[in-house]
Amino acid sequence: MKVVILSQNTTFEGMIVRKISPLALLVFVLCLSCKEDTSKISGSPESVKNSDVIEVKYAKSFSIEHYGDHSVIQVNRPWPGATKPLNYIVVPKEKLTAMTFPSNEYDAVITTPIKSLVVTSTTHIPALESLNALDKLVGFPDTKYISSMPARDLIAKGKIRELGNNESLNTEMVMELRPDVIVGFGIDDQNSPYEIFQKANIPVVYNGDWTEETPMGKAEWIKFFGVLFNREKEADSIFREIETSYFSVKELAKKAKIEPRVLSGALYKDIWYLPAGDSWAAQFISDANADYLYKDTEGTGSLSLGLESVLEKAPLADYWVAPSRFTSYKEMEQANTHYQEFKPFKEKNVYTFAATKGATGGLLYYELAPQRPDLVLKDLVHIFHPELLPDHNPYFFTPLQ
């Protein structure tokens, strides 16, 4: 997204806390005194009886309820295997003192307007940019992976600070920035750095966009940010445009007379990794009206196969998409001579998103594709059925060099 990499930008590995220096300890103590203490809130909101559920059509990992003077975001699946949802209340600052509710009912209290925040995955960047909230971003781990040009401009001006990386988030820097909220992610419930920030009364909310299993489900997480920035209507409007675009392209693809066979993935240390049949990537191929060779396999993540297994089934593929990190046929030949046995390799029908990079090397696909599945689908329809979108200029997938 650094993602094991769903993304180079969203590493799904645990975060390691560095030993806190005396300076960090001092800042920590100051934060405890300067941030608003929400742990003493008690009672229950009067408006709780008249909740309005905001429509979330495709996403399975979060829901939103609006109560008039505040909203509640429930993240049902912050990480795979989560045993309970996380609940976040979002309330205007001027309303907070008049409200009472149990302090243990919510995992974080976010007061608005949010003037500064830290996000931790490049998949969060497009939503901020679309909602004109990028100027609120003050810090990010591994800024080199950000491809967004407006964000890169803010980084160059020092307005978005480098926070190390997701494995060892710079605790001192975060404490110094004192953001109004941190939007994080986790692969499990062991997230020690976030606990440090929470104890300093810096709200931490988990974004589970990467746990979604469908293209539209991932894209719908823009509504999560819409609530945080009180721009729900804008978020809904943007999502509806993406939704309309995606399904119009899907309908167009149905007009194709041929359903080509498609292979994906490549070898990494003698293991061939490729999308499972129920995965996000496999759905793109299906919606582009193509026959994914492993569509009947179970699972929403990746398959791990031996070369011999792939050689039995895949040589008859017409197209080969997302061949891991490779950007040229020469690279593939040098990595493994068996690649030359595949029909798409022989006929030069291999397409990669690894060549489409930002100014500092981040892969645009990992950043933008989750929010813009319609652009991914257009690329694939253009590849598999060029007669349907002859003038399309690819956003992510380009022919191997």
For residue range 61-97, list pLDDT tens digits in order.
999 999 888 999 999 999 988 889 999 999 999 888 7
Total domain count for the chain?
A: 2
Same domain, 165 and 76: yes
What does the alpha-carbon distance between residue 228 and residue 203 come to, in Å, rounded to a whole number? 12
Q: Give domain status of residue 48, yes or no.
A: yes
CATH at residue 311: 3.40.50.1980
Residue with tokens 């060099």: 401
Same domain, 273 and 230: no
Neighbours of 198 (CB within 10 A): 15
Q: Give domain status of residue 247, yes or no.
A: no
Same domain, 237 and 276: no
For residue range 167-185, list pLDDT tens digits in order.
678 999 999 999 999 999 8
75: CB partners within 8 A, 6+ apart: 61, 62, 85, 86, 87, 88, 205, 206, 207, 208
Which ranges of 40-119 would DSSP assign to H, the alpha helix?
93-96
DSSP notation for 289-338? T-EETTTTS--SSEEEE-HHHHHHHGGG-SEEE--TT--SHHHHHHH-GG
pLDDT at 36 exceeding the cut of 90:
no
- Top pLDDT among 281 and 36 is at 281
Same domain, 111 and 232: yes
**If pLDDT is split at 50, 70 and 90, which confidence band does 22 have?**
very low
Q: Which of 373, 115, 66 is nearest to 248 (CA)?
A: 373
Same domain, 233 and 289: no
For residue range 340-366, list pLDDT tens digits in order.
989 999 999 999 999 999 999 999 999
Query: Of the candidates 181, 215, 242, which is a domain's last residue?
Result: 242
Same domain, 69 and 170: yes
CB distance 2 to 142 below 8 Å: yes
CB distance 134 to 156 below 8 Å: no
Neighbours of 345 (CB within 10 A): 21
**If pLDDT is split at 50, 70 and 90, which confidence band does 325 have?**
very high
Same domain, 127 and 267: no
What does the alpha-carbon distance between residue 135 and residue 115 come to, in Å, rounded to a whole number? 9
pLDDT at 322 exceeding the cut of 60:
yes
Query: Of the candidates 193, 212, 242, which is a domain's last residue?
Result: 242
Same domain, 336 and 229: no
For residue range 275-284, list pLDDT tens digits in order.
999 999 999 9
Domain of residue 350: give its range.
Answer: 254-399
What does the alpha-carbon distance between residue 70 and residue 166 come to, in Å, rounded to a whole number? 31
Query: Of the candidates 210, 242, 274, which is a domain's last residue?
Result: 242
